């Protein structure tokens, strides 16, 4: 069996995958004149200080609102406010409105059914079926929000929890994976026996139901503008050629990752007390096929003998029934029964191994993969917004400064080309947002035919003016000097 190459097509994201200090220093070094370089660095600082001031009040309102719904101390604060249930509901919706605005500005996207289906269509390190205990999750908070703020392509579970994702990475794991290889071999032998003995017809109902749940055959996410899409490859054991040569040797498997994931949910209320806490969990570098580890209210995985017993009974009934056939092959029946018994035993031991791996992954997600939660997640988001906005403004101003006049489309293309050529990275540059900020700062103008041009560096610094942060720094320097 030749190896099957599995490629996933994803839409490129707007987030600029370059750290702000590296972006500024690299662009500054491309400026030849030292005086212009100094003015450019000053402009970068003033742009950041100004954008940070723009968002200060909004971020403060966001943090104040969340303090009322913090799962740890929010309940006590709400009690002291003496608010009615309707007033609390309004504050919840206001918080969610601010939160989703910040998510959009941070280039986080809500994971759709299709994206999650493609992500979970394979296996990586997690080989257990993980499900959510929906009875432990609230179904009113998010349902009301999306009723008032409709969005396209919402997942089926959006009334209970929302998964935001941003950025695409790659994770590789090297090991022997002996049990996984054996499992693949047994699965292929079992599939061959089912096909040979035509028992697969007994399972046709289950297979057709599964195809209905996963109607898409190709592992790809179809998006507009395919020429700008990002292609990432999966390397799975199921698609490899397993032989005696590589059965006992190390192999490398590869899985695309979601660089950042944020999960939003609320626990269900009890009969005695209404739950008002809103949970935010922030994760990094989560393999797509293992993204179940970030789900809230996970059920403990368990071995389900009913499914195996049902298959075994079907096989036994078929075997016993086939004795009445004139052309019954007792050796085939014996082979089938032996395979069923062996496969059940193999499934039990594989489950024990997968359960240990699952517990290890959960521990790792808690200590290594989880960046923060609650208020810490909000602080991350607020900083992400500022960093992204600053990088967009600086990059677009630099292009206009170096290239002269440009239309919005040309500016978009040139910014993406510079990121690719200078930083060896790619993104779908958000030129609309960048131009809007440049116009708000007053450092660009548009001519009669719609082309944009920037003022010179010295004039740009004069337009923005001295910021409060610069005055504070000067005061500190004068105190230290004295």
Question: Tell me: the pLDDT tens digits for 444-475?
Answer: 999 888 899 999 999 999 999 999 888 888 88
pLDDT for the residue numbered 126: 76
Under the banding of pLDDT at 50, 70 and 90, the label for residue 131 is confident
Q: How confident is the model at residue 123 (pLDDT cuts 50, 70, 90)?
A: confident
Quickly state the pLDDT bin for 247 (edges 50, 70, 90).
confident
Question: Which tops the pLDDT comparison, 163 or 229?
Answer: 163
Average pLDDT (116-120) is 83
Distance CA 105, CA 381 (A): 9
User: 139 with 160: CB under 8 angstroms?
Assistant: yes
pLDDT in tens, 376-410: 999 999 999 999 999 999 999 999 999 989 999 99
What pLDDT is attached to residue 349? 63
Q: In residues, how long is the chain?
A: 482
What pLDDT is stored for residue 360 in this prediction?
A: 65
pLDDT > 50? residue 216: no
Distance, CA of 78 to CA of 388 (rounded, Å): 34
pLDDT of residue 154: 94
- pTM here? 0.80
DSSP, residue by residue, 441-482:
HT-EEE-TTS-EEE--HHHHHHHH---HHHHHHHHHHHHHH-
pLDDT band at 183 (very low <50, low <70, confident <90, very high): confident
Assess contact for 199 and 336: CB atoms under 8 A.
Answer: yes
The candidate with the shortest Cα–Cα distance to 378, out of 64, 138, 161, is 64
What is the per-residue pLDDT for 207?
Answer: 46
Q: Percent of the chain beyond pLDDT 90?
A: 48
Q: CA geometry: angle at 25 spanning 20 and 30, to 5°?
A: 130
In percent, the amount of the chain with pLDDT more than 70 equals 79
Task: Please tell me the predicted confidence (pLDDT) of residue 205.
Answer: 53
Which H or E element spans position 197?
helix 178-197
Question: Distance (Å, rounded) from C-alpha 68 to C-alpha 75?
Answer: 7
Confidence of residue 217 (pLDDT cuts 50, 70, 90): very low
Q: Is residue 268's pLDDT more than 80?
A: yes
Start-to-end C-alpha separation, the chain: 79
- The overall average pLDDT reported for the chain is 83
Instruction: Summarize the confidence of residues 213-223 as an average pLDDT.
Output: 42
Which ranges of 164-303 would DSSP assign to H, the alpha helix?
178-197, 204-213, 244-247
pLDDT of residue 332: 62
Q: Over the stretch 350-368, which tens digit does the pLDDT of each residue have?
A: 655 665 665 666 666 566 7
**Residue-wise pLDDT tens digits, 292-303:** 888 898 887 655
- The CA distances from residue 53 to 105, 226, 378, 388, in Å, are 16, 38, 17, 15
Distance CA 456, CA 34 (A): 15
pLDDT tier, 212 (very low <50, low <70, confident <90, very high otherwise)? very low
Most trustworthy range by pLDDT among 62-71, 115-124, 365-374: 62-71
Model confidence at 311: pLDDT above 60: no
Instruction: Please tell me which residue, 219 or 435, carries the higher pLDDT value.
Output: 435
Gyration radius from the chain CA atoms = 29
Q: What is the mean pLDDT of residues 280-292?
A: 90
Label residue 226 by pLDDT band (50, 70, 90).
Answer: low
Q: Are 281 and 194 in contact (CB under 8 A)?
A: no
Who has greater pLDDT, 76 or 326? 76
The answer to whether 7 and 234 are in contact (CB under 8 A) is: yes
Q: Is the pLDDT of residue 225 over 50?
A: no
pLDDT reading at 290 higher than 90: no
What is the DSSP code (8-state) at residue 367? I
* 470, 49 contact by CB (below 8 A): yes
What's the confidence (pLDDT) of residue 223? 40
Question: By mean pLDDT, which of 86-90, 218-222, 243-247 is the weakest?
Answer: 218-222
Q: What is the pLDDT of residues 139-182, one digit of tens each?
A: 999 999 999 999 999 999 999 999 999 988 898 989 888 877 88
Strand partners of residue 231:
9
Mean pLDDT of 21-45: 96
The alpha carbon torsion through 146, 150, 151, 152 (nearest 10 deg) reads: 120
**CA 387 centroid distance within chain:** 19
Q: Note the pLDDT of residue 316.
A: 53
Min mean pLDDT across 56-65, 194-203, 242-251, 438-447 is at 194-203
């Amino acid at each position: 069996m030749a190896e099957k190459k599995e490629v996933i097509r994803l839409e490129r994201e707007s987030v600029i995958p370059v750290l702000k200090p590296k972006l500024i220093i690299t662009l500054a070094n491309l400026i030849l004149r030292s005086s212009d370089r100094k003015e450019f660095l000053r402009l970068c600082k003033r742009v950041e200080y100004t954008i940070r001031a723009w968002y200060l009040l909004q971020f403060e309102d966001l943090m104040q609102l969340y303090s009322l719904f913090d799962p740890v101390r929010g309940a006590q604060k709400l009690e002291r406010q003496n608010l009615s249930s309707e007033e609390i509901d309004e504050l919840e919706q206001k918080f969610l409105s601010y939160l989703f605005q910040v998510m959009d500005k941070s280039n986080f996207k809500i994971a759709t059914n299709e994206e999650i289906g493609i992500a979970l269509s394979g296996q990586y390190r997690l080989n257990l079926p993980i499900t959510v205990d929906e009875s432990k999750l609230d179904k009113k908070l998010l349902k009301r929000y999306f009723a008032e703020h409709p969005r396209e392509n919402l997942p089926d579970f959006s009334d209970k929890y929302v998964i935001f994702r941003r950025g695409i990475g790659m994770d590789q794991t090297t090991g022997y994976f002996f049990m996984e290889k054996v499992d693949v071999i047994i699965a292929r032998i079992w599939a061959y026996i089912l096909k040979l003995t035509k028992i697969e017809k007994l399972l046709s109902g289950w297979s057709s139901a599964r195809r209905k749940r996963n109607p898409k055959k190709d592992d790809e996410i179809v998006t507009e503008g395919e020429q700008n899409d990002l292609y990432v490859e999966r390397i799975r054991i199921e698609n490899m050629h397993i032989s005696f040569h590589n059965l006992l040797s190390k192999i490398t498997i590869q899985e695309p990752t979601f660089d950042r994931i944020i999960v939003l949910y609320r626990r269900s209320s009890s009969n005695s007390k209404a739950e008002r806490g809103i949970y935010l969990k922030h994760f990094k570098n989560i393999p797509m096929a293992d993204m179940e580890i970030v789900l809230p209210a996970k059920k403990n995985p368990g071995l389900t003998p009913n499914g195996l017993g049902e298959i075994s009974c079907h096989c036994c009934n078929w075997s016993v029934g086939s004795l009445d056939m004139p052309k019954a092959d007792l050796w085939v029946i014996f082979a089938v029964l032996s395979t069923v018994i062996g496969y059940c035993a193999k499934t039990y031991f594989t489950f024990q191994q997968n359960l240990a791996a699952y517990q290890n992954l959960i521990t790792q997600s808690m200590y290594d993969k989880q960046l923060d939660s609650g208020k810490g997640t909000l602080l991350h988001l607020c900083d992400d917004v500022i960093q992204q906005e600053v990088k967009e403004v600086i990059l677009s101003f630099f292009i206009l400064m170096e290239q002269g006049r440009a239309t919005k489309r040309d500016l978009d293309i040139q910014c993406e080309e510079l990121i690719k050529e200078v930083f060896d990275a790619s993104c779908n540059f958000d030129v609309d947002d960048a131009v809007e900020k440049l116009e708000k700062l007053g450092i660009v103008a548009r001519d009669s035919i719609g082309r944009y041009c920037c003022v010179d560096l010295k004039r740009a610094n004069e337009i923005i003016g001295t910021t409060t942060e610069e005055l504070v720094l000067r005061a500190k320097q004068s105190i230290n000097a004295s």
